[in-house]
């Protein structure tokens, strides 16, 4: 019988053949699943952690008080299980009329942070302090905000943005990116900040990352969103050492 609390393998990281599963009910009527050791792995990816930061959670400088871990995933299947049910930025951020309050604490959510396991979404983390972040800060239509966030998330977990970006022989770039953020910076009108954090300030890597990031972000917006358009995302790099 799998113990969901102590098992070294997350239960949802496996698809179980019907022939290996026997469902039984305990004395409380709950379904338990008993199976053999033969398990079929799902499609693995690096392990990622999604965080949210809420407003009004203690001292504004107290990172632990305001940041909550929402979920972790290490397979494509688990990613979609969570992502399909987590509110989109447009559903929780200020839309020009309403500053929404959500969750058990009934507080506004100010940002989503998606970072690789072991890296905390703060400048002081050793992986973040050696690099910097690309960011845009601009007014966005809510549907564009949602598309940017979706494209950004899928671009990092699928390693599309990191592909062919570093100076190694195969240029797989898999160790350049630390995480991504979307932040509600609204003050009377909807203003949002979209960020990608990386662990290097290498000029060549930055240039490749920036190109991949921009291409990824605008995917799905059509030919009207070209480099000459007013709303085209123009990323600026912020050095985390300054």
pLDDT for the residue numbered 65:
73
Tell me, yes or no, if the pTM score tops 0.85.
Answer: no
Structure tokens given for 42 = 């799902």
pLDDT over 70, % of the chain: 75
CA angle 36, 38, 43 (to 5 degrees): 130
Q: How high is the pLDDT of residue 193?
A: 97
**Residues with Cβ within 8 Å of residue 219, at least 6 apart in sequence:** 151
What is the phi/psi pair of residue 203, to 5°?
Answer: -65, -40
The pLDDT of residue 12 is above 70: no
User: 76 φ, ψ to 5°?
Assistant: -60, -40
Does the pLDDT value for residue 9 go beyond 90?
no
Least confident of 57-61, 78-82, 198-202, 225-229: 57-61
At residue 201, φ and ψ (nearest 5 deg) are -115, 15
pLDDT tens profile 54-64: 887 555 556 66
The listed range with the strongest mean pLDDT (166-170, 175-179, 191-195) is 191-195
Q: What's the pLDDT at 174?
A: 55
Domains of the chain: 11-40 (no CATH), 43-239 (3.30.760.10)
Residues 209-223 pLDDT 10s: 999 999 999 998 877
Contacts 24+ apart (CB under 8 A), 233-239: 233/136, 233/138, 233/148, 233/194, 234/136, 235/134, 235/135, 235/136, 235/196, 235/210, 236/134, 236/135, 236/136, 237/132, 237/133, 237/134, 237/206, 237/210, 238/132, 238/133, 238/134, 238/135, 239/132, 239/201
- pLDDT of 14 above 60: no
Would you say residue 240 has pLDDT above 60? Answer: yes
DSSP 8-state symbol, 13? G
């Amino acid at each position: 019988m799998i113990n969901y609390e102590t098992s070294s393998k997350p239960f949802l990281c496996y698809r179980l053949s019907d022939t290996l599963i026997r469902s039984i009910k305990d004395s409380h009527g709950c379904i338990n699943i008993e199976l053999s050791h033969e398990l079929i792995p799902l499609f693995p990816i690096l392990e990622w952690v999604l965080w949210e930061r809420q407003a009004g959670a203690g001292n504004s400088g107290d990172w632990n008080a305001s940041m909550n871990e929402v979920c972790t995933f290490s397979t494509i299947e688990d990613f979609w299980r969570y992502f399909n049910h987590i509110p989109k930025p447009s559903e929780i951020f200020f839309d020009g009329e309403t500053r929404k309050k959500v969750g058990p604490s009934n507080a506004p959510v100010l940002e989503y942070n998606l970072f690789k396991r072991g890296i905390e979404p703060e400048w002081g983390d050793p992986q973040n302090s050696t690099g910097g972040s690309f960011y845009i800060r601009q007014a966005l239509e809510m549907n564009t905000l949602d598309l940017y966030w979706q494209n950004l998330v899928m671009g990092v977990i699928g390693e599309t943005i990191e592909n062919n970006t570093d100076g190694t022989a195969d240029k797989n770039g898999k160790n350049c990116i630390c995480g991504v953020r979307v932040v509600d910076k609204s003050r009377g009108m909807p203003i949002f900040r979209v960020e990608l954090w990386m662990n290097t300030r290498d000029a060549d890597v930055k240039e490749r990352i920036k190109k991949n990031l921009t291409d990824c972000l605008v995917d799905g917006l059509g030919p009207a969103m070209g480099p000459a358009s007013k709303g085209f995302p123009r990323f600026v790099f912020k050095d985390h050492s300054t």
